[in-house]
Amino acid sequence: MKDYQIFTDATADLDEELIKGLPEVKILPMEILLDNKAYVYGPEGNIDHQTFYSLLNTKVDVKTSSISPDTYMNSFEAALKEGKDILYICFTSGLSGTYNTASFICRDLKDQYPDSKIYCIDSLCASLGEAFFVYEALKRQKEGYTIDELYEWCSYSRRNVAHWFTLDNFDYLIKGGRISPAVAAIGSALQIKPLLSVDEEGKLYVAGKLRGRKSSIVALLKKIDSDWKQDIDKKIVVGHGNCPEEAQEMKEKILARHPEADVSIMSIGPVIGCHTGPSILAVLYYQ
C-alpha cells in the first residue's frame, strides 16, 4: 500500500499537544497583513497568537491572504516526488477562496502525476474546528485507513464537527460585514452576546443572541449536553482568542458536567481571530 501525506493549512491552529503521537501532518503557512505589513502565520512564521492579539488591541487594520498557487504546487509536488499520495484538508470554502485555488492545483498535478492519488477535501470547518477534523483524520490514518478510505470518511464526516462560539461584542463582526452597525448598536446597548456557529456550507452564522456573557457560556455548555457524541470521541476542545482564564473556567465547567470528557484548551489564531476578536470563546466536539 502506497504511503500518503496529510496536509492542512495554518487556519487550523493545530496545537502540537493535540496531535502528539499521531502521523505527521504538513501545515501550509498563510499570510496576515497588519496595517499592510505582511506576516507569515504557521510553520517557520514570524507571528504567534500572543503577538497577534497584542497588535489587534492597538486597532490595527487586519487582512488575510489566501495561500498562493506556488505554495501549493511546491509543497504538494515535494511529497509526490517522494512517492507519496496526498490528502489535503482545506479551510472551508464558505469563508475563503482557498479551496478553489487548491483544487485547481490538484487537478493540474493529477495530469502531471497520473499514477498518484491527490485528494482535496473542503473541510467545511475553520480554526479549531478544522484542527479537530484533522485530528480525527490523523487518528484514522494511524489506525490503518487507506487514502481512499480516509477520503470517503472525510467526505461523510466533515459535517459532524460541532462549532459553537460566543463573542463579548459585535465589533469585529461589523468589520467582517456579518451584521449591520445598527443591529450591533442595539445589541451592545442591551448587553447582547452573539452565539455563532458554522452551517452545512461552512459559512459563519449568528445562531442566537443572549443577554450577558454568562448566558452565552451556559448556552455553549447546553450544546455539549445535547449534541456531544462521546461514544465516537471523548475529546472536547475549548478555544479562545485572548481570554485563557475564561477558557480554563469553561474546561472546569465541562468536566463538572461530563467528568469522562477529554478536554483540551487551544488558542484561536489570526486567520479567524481577525474576524472575531480577542473575546472569542468556543467549544468544538464530535456531534
What is the CATH architecture assignment of 161-286?
2-Layer Sandwich (3.30)
CA distance 162 to 47: 28
The secondary element (H helix, E strand) that includes residue 34 is: strand 30-34
Nearest alpha-carbon partner for 140 in 225, 268, 227, 25: 25
CA distance 167 to 173: 9
The secondary element (H helix, E strand) that includes residue 28 is: strand 25-28
For residue 175, the model assigns a pLDDT of: 61
- Cell reading at 263: 478536554
- Note the pLDDT tens digit of each residue in 41-68: 999 899 999 999 998 888 888 888 889 9
Q: Is a pLDDT exceeding 90 seen at residue 104?
A: yes
Domain boundaries, the chain: 4-29+66-159, 161-286
Rounded to 10°, the helix 69-81/98-112 angle is: 40
- Note the pLDDT tens digit of each residue in 177-236: 555 554 544 445 446 788 889 888 988 888 888 888 889 999 999 999 999 999 989 999
The residue length of the chain stands at 287
For residue 182, the model assigns a pLDDT of: 45
Q: How many of the other CB atoms lie within 10 Å of CB of 110?
A: 15
CA distance 38 to 27: 19
What is the CATH architecture assignment of 4-29+66-159?
3-Layer(aba) Sandwich (3.40)
pTM score, whole prediction: 0.91
CA distance 192 to 184: 9
Mean pLDDT of 137-144: 97
For residue 170, the model assigns a pLDDT of: 66
Nearest alpha-carbon partner for 26 in 41, 14, 38: 14
Q: Please, which residues bridge with residue 34 across strands?
A: 37, 62
CA distance 124 to 162: 11
Amino acid (one-letter) located at 59: K
Pairing state between β 30-34 and 37-41: antiparallel
For residue 191, the model assigns a pLDDT of: 62
Q: What are phi and psi of 38, to 5 degrees?
A: -85, 135
- Note the pLDDT tens digit of each residue in 271-283: 999 888 899 999 9
Q: Is a pLDDT exceeding 90 seen at residue 253?
A: yes
